[in-house]
Amino acid sequence: MTHGDTSSRRGWYLLGPAFVAAIAYVDPGNVAANVSAGAKFGYLLVWVIVCANVMAALVQYLAAKLGLVTGLSLPEVVGIKTRRPTRIAYWLQAELVAVATDLAEVVGGAIALRLIFGLPLVLGGLITGVVSIGLLLIGDRNGPRTFERTATGLLAIIAIGFLASLVVEPPPVTHVAAGLLPRFDGAESVLLTTAILGATVMPHAVYLHSGLARDRHGQPAPGPARQRLLRVTRWDVGLAMLVAGAVNLAMLVVAAAHLAGFDGTDSIEGAHAAIGDALGPTIALLFAIGLLASGLASTSVGAHAGAMIMAGLLRVSVPMLARRLITLLPALAILATGIDPTRALVISQVVLSFGIPFALVPLVHLTGDRELMGDDANRPLTTVLGWTVTVVIAALNAVLIYLTVS
C-alpha cells in the first residue's frame, strides 16, 4: 500500500493547511484589538469575535476549495485571467498588504522580546526576522508538511499562552453569554468592532491557504477522492478556526474580567502590566510568550504568503531570503524611528483593510464560476453568503479607515 493510499484512509493525516492559515488569525494585531475591546467595553463585543470567526471559516474554506479544484493558488488564477497592467497593479496592492502584515508581526515579536528580556525594539524586531527566516528555511528544506507541523506547534504555544488565564480564573459564563447579543455602545465600540474584523480576516491568509491546499493535496480528479478531500478540508478549517476563535475570545474575556479600570490597556505593554497586577507574574509571562510565538509564527506565514503572491502574479520566483528582507526592512525602519509600537500595529491594520476586497471579491467570484470549478462551483446559498461576508467586511473596514483617519 502506498503512502498516498494510507493517508487517504486516515482523514486526520490530511489535516494541516488550515492550521497554518489560522496563524494569521491570532497575530499581534488581534491581540491589540481584542484586549482593547475587552478592557474598554467588557463582554459587549463577544458577538463580534464569534461572527468574525464564522465569516473567516467560510472564506478560508472557499480559498482551500479553489486550490484543490483548480490546482492553482488564488494569485495564479488572478494572474491567468488578467492582463499584465492589471496583474502588476494587483500585485502592488498585495505587496503593500504583505509589508503591512510583516510590520504587525515584527512589531508584536519585538514587543514580546522587550517584555520578556528587556531588549530594545529594533533588536527584538531583528531577532524576530532572523528566527522567521530559520522557520522558512526549515520548510523549504524539509517540505510543506514540516512547515505545517512547526506552525501548528507554534499555534499550540499561542493557545496555551493566551488561554492559561482562563484556567486560573474563569470568567462568569453568564457574562460571556450576554455578550453574544449583537449591540454597540457609542462610536468607539464601532471602531473596535471594525478593528477586530480587520485583524481577523487577513488577505494574505486567503492567498496562502489556496496554495497550501494545492501543495499538500495536489489537484484530485473529480469524483469520490475530491469529495473526500473537500469534506476533510471542511473539518480542517472548522477545527483550525475553532482554535483561533477560542484564543481570540480568551483575549477579550480576560481583558473584560480583569483589566477594566486599569490605565494603559490600550497598548499591549500596558495590558501585559495590568495582567501581571491582576493575575500574577506567571500568567503575564505566559501572555508574553504567547505574543512572541504569535509574532514568530505569523511573520513566517506572512513571508510565505508574500512569496506565493509574487510567484502567482508576476510569475517570478524570488529566493526566500531576499523576499524576507523586502518586507522585513520597512518594519525595522519604522521601529527605529521610535513610533509607538501599538500605534504602528493600528496603522498596519488600516493598510490591511485596503487589501481585503481585492482578496475576497475574486475569491467569491471564481469559486462560483462553473466553467472554472465544474460541479464543485459554489451553490447559490454559498454564493449569497460569500458576497454578504465580502460586502459586510469591506464596508466595516471602510468605516475603520474613516474613523482612524478622522
Q: What is the pLDDT of residues 100-112, one digit of tens each?
A: 888 888 999 999 9
Q: C-alpha grid cell for residue 28?
A: 499581534
pLDDT for the residue numbered 1: 34
% of the chain residues with pLDDT over 70: 95
> Residue 238 in contact with residue 73, Cβ under 8 Å?
no
Per residue in 265-276, pLDDT tens?
778 888 899 889
CA nearest to 390, candidates 362, 349, 348: 362
58 CB-near residues (< 8 Å, 6+ apart)? 382, 385, 386, 389
**Is residue 380 packed enough to be buried (19+ CB in 10 Å), middle (13-18) or exposed (0-12)?**
exposed
Helix axes of 341-367 and 187-200: crossing angle, nearest 10 degrees: 60
> Residue 42 in contact with residue 184, Cβ under 8 Å?
no
Per residue in 204-250, pLDDT tens?
899 999 999 998 888 888 989 899 999 999 999 999 999 999 999 99
Helix axes of 281-314 and 203-217: crossing angle, nearest 10 degrees: 70
Q: C-alpha grid cell for residue 385?
A: 453568503
Rg (CA), the chain: 20
What is this structure's pTM? 0.91
pLDDT for the residue numbered 234: 94
**Is the model's pLDDT at 278 over the cut of 60?**
yes
Position with higher pLDDT, 144 vs 114: 114
> Residue 224 in contact with residue 379, Cβ under 8 Å?
no
Backbone phi and psi for residue 92, each to the nearest 5 degrees, phi listed first: -60, -45
> Residue 357 in contact with residue 133, Cβ under 8 Å?
no
Per residue in 334-391, pLDDT tens?
888 888 887 777 677 777 777 888 999 999 999 999 999 999 999 999 999 999 999 9
